[in-house]
């Protein structure tokens, strides 16, 4: 927290491009579903932008080119446009990375380094060395746009039966978030694509996950939804440690997306009673296995975007074999 606060103040105090950023904690730690030591954090640095034009750059409905409709109020952003007038994620990340690299030198009481850039990753990763352990912090540059969500999200977020129609409307009225994320499908990787992000809403759905308002509150009935999610996350993490190369393309986001779909299929709190953890976990795992078998897991907010593409059939089958083995043998991995 000290390191991030220091950096944000330093970035803001420099006149220019990033003076309006705000911090938003995202990811498993802030959703209270972290399964190992809290040694990895995702911090979104959110930058408000007035009006943007979004042009889809492929058929997923998740990746966009951004340009300005007219001269932006944010004049400082003009220097990040590429030759086609598109806002370049690559240029912005590079500028932010430079500022952060200079600033970490001014942090005296902790040893902080900026890790080497990973190709295609939207994050600037800090390593913080300090007893009792090492911490890595992913800093994710995020644009916040106050405009309606693009058409590809129209049929997503099917939470009417689970969290209610009112909650869905309220979520869809919130700002749109875009993260600087390289679209690997692009023929020429120019680094000017942005991906929609719904972390802020996922965090809310996880923290207020009951069909009744009191679910899991201090005096309300408890459910096992988060317990199920943590178990499957743990299972995947353990398998990834054993089969790093084969399971490289899977991440906890797959498990989390399958979890949201499960909450929609079984919308009532009585479907997830805390005493039924084993039964509920197996139902949820069954759904995830089904997705792997079909190589079909629709993004929760963008239904046309399949997170398990059929060209990865081999890895999908590989993971489904491992999970089936665990399921049929009473989960030896949990006994270890």
pLDDT digits (tens, 9 = 90+) for 267-312: 999 999 999 999 999 999 999 999 999 999 999 999 999 999 888 9
Domain boundary among 199, 226, 251: 199
pLDDT digits (tens, 9 = 90+) for 222-268: 999 999 999 999 999 999 999 999 999 999 999 999 999 999 999 99
Please say if the pLDDT value at position 118 is more than 90. Answer: no
**C-alpha Rg value of the chain to the nearest Å:** 21
Together in a domain, 9 and 127? yes
Domain range holding 62? 1-199
- pLDDT in the model for residue 23: 87
Together in a domain, 144 and 252? no
Please say if the pLDDT value at position 84 is more than 70. Answer: yes
> Does residue 124 sit in helix, strand or coil?
strand
What is the C-alpha separation between 17 and 11, in angstroms, rounded?
A: 9
What is the C-alpha separation between 297 and 232, in angstroms, rounded?
A: 16
Please say if the pLDDT value at position 73 is more than 90. Answer: no
- pLDDT in the model for residue 131: 61
Q: Does some domain include residue 60?
A: yes
Contacts of 182-190 with C-beta under 8 Å, sequence gap 24+, read 182/89, 182/90, 182/119, 182/120, 182/121, 182/122, 183/57, 183/58, 183/63, 184/120, 185/58, 185/60, 185/63, 186/57, 186/58, 189/120, 190/82, 190/88, 190/90
Residue that the structure tokens 């989390």 belong to? 256
Residues in the chain, overall count: 336
Please say if the pLDDT value at position 120 is more than 70. Answer: no
Per-residue confidence band for 109, with pLDDT thresholds at 50, 70 and 90: confident
Per-residue confidence band for 30, with pLDDT thresholds at 50, 70 and 90: low
Point out the least confidently predicted range of 48-62, 107-121, 290-304.
Answer: 107-121
> Of residues 188 and 249, which shows the higher confidence score?
249
Please say if the pLDDT value at position 325 is more than 90. Answer: yes
Together in a domain, 131 and 2? yes
Q: What percent of the chain has pLDDT over 70?
A: 93
**Residue 224 · residue 277 · CB < 8 Å:** yes
Per-residue confidence band for 111, with pLDDT thresholds at 50, 70 and 90: confident
Q: Does some domain include residue 117?
A: yes
CATH number reported for the structural domain that contains residue 277 in this entry? 1.10.1410.40
What is the C-alpha separation between 168 and 170, in angstroms, rounded?
A: 5
Domain boundary among 142, 177, 199: 199
Q: Mean pLDDT for the chain?
A: 89
Q: Where are the alpha helices (DSSP H) in the chain?
A: 2-13, 89-104, 165-172, 199-207, 225-242, 252-265, 277-294, 313-328, 332-335
DSSP β-bridge partners for residue 273: 223
Q: Does some domain include residue 6?
A: yes
Q: Does some domain include residue 205?
A: no
Together in a domain, 22 and 133? yes
**Residue 180 · residue 122 · CB < 8 Å:** yes
- pLDDT in the model for residue 134: 87
Highest mean pLDDT among 2-6, 65-69, 80-84, 159-163: 159-163
Domain boundary among 171, 199, 227: 199
Q: Does some domain include residue 207?
A: no
Write the burial class of residue 283 (CB in 10 Å: 0-12 exposed, 13-18 middle, 19+ buried): middle
The two tokens of residue 253 are: 């986001």
**Residue 232 · residue 284 · CB < 8 Å:** yes
Per-residue confidence band for 197, with pLDDT thresholds at 50, 70 and 90: very high
- pLDDT in the model for residue 31: 67
- pLDDT in the model for residue 181: 80
Please say if the pLDDT value at position 189 is more than 80. Answer: no
The two tokens of residue 140 are: 């994710």
Residue that the structure tokens 């409905």 belong to? 61
> Of residues 246 and 335, which shows the higher confidence score?
246
CATH number reported for the structural domain that contains residue 59 in this entry? 3.30.460.90
Please say if the pLDDT value at position 187 is more than 60. Answer: no
Q: Does some domain include residue 221?
A: yes
DSSP state of 313: H
Q: Does some domain include residue 232?
A: yes
Please say if the pLDDT value at position 190 is more than 70. Answer: no
Could you tell me how many helices (H) and strands (E) the chain has, helices first? 9, 9
Together in a domain, 1 and 121? yes
Per-residue confidence band for 108, with pLDDT thresholds at 50, 70 and 90: confident
- In this prediction, residues 125-144 reach a mean pLDDT of 86
> Does residue 49 sit in helix, strand or coil?
strand
- In this prediction, residues 79-94 reach a mean pLDDT of 90
- In this prediction, residues 36-42 reach a mean pLDDT of 77
- pLDDT in the model for residue 219: 86
Please say if the pLDDT value at position 68 is more than 80. Answer: yes
- pLDDT in the model for residue 282: 96
Residue 127: Cβ within 10 Å count? 14
- In this prediction, residues 167-173 reach a mean pLDDT of 97
């Amino acid at each position: 927290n000290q390191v991030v606060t220091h950096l944000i103040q330093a970035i803001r105090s420099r006149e220019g491009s990033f003076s309006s950023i705000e911090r938003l904690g995202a990811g498993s730690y802030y959703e209270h579903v972290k399964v190992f030591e809290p040694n990895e954090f995702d911090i979104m640095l959110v930058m408000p932008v007035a009006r943007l034009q979004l042009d889809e750059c492929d058929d997923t409905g998740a990746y966009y080119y951004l340009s300005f409709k007219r001269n932006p109020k944010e004049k400082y952003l003009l220097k990040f446009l590429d030759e086609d007038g598109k806002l370049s994620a690559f240029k912005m990340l590079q500028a932010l990375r430079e500022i952060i690299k200079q600033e970490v030198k001014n942090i005296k009481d902790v040893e902080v380094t900026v890790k080497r850039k990973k190709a295609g990753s939207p994050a600037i990763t800090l390593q913080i060395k300090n007893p009792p352990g090492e911490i890595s912090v992913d800093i994710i540059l995020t644009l916040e746009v106050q405009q309606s969500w693009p058409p590809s999200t129209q049929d997503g977020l099917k939470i009417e039966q689970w969290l209610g129609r009112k909650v869905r409307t309220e979520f869809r009225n919130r700002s749109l978030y875009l993260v600087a994320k390289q679209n690997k499908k692009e023929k020429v990787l120019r680094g000017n694509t942005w991906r929609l992000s719904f972390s802020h809403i996922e965090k809310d759905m996880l923290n207020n996950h009951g069909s009744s308002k009191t679910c899991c509150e201090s005096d309300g009935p408890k459910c096992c939804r988060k317990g199920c999610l943590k178990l499957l996350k743990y299972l995947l993490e353990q398998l990834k440690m054993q089969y790093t190369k084969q399971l490289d393309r899977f991440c906890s986001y797959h498990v989390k997306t399958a979890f949201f779909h499960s909450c929609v299929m079984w919308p009532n709190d009585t479907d997830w009673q805390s005493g039924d953890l084993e039964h509920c976990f197996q139902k949820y795992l069954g759904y995830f296995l089904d997705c792997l078998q079909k190589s079909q897991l629709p993004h929760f907010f963008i239904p046309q975007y399949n997170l398990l593409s059929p060209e990865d059939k081999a890895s999908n089958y590989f993971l489904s074999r491992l999970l089936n083995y665990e399921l049929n043998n009473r989960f030896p991995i949990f006994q270890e």
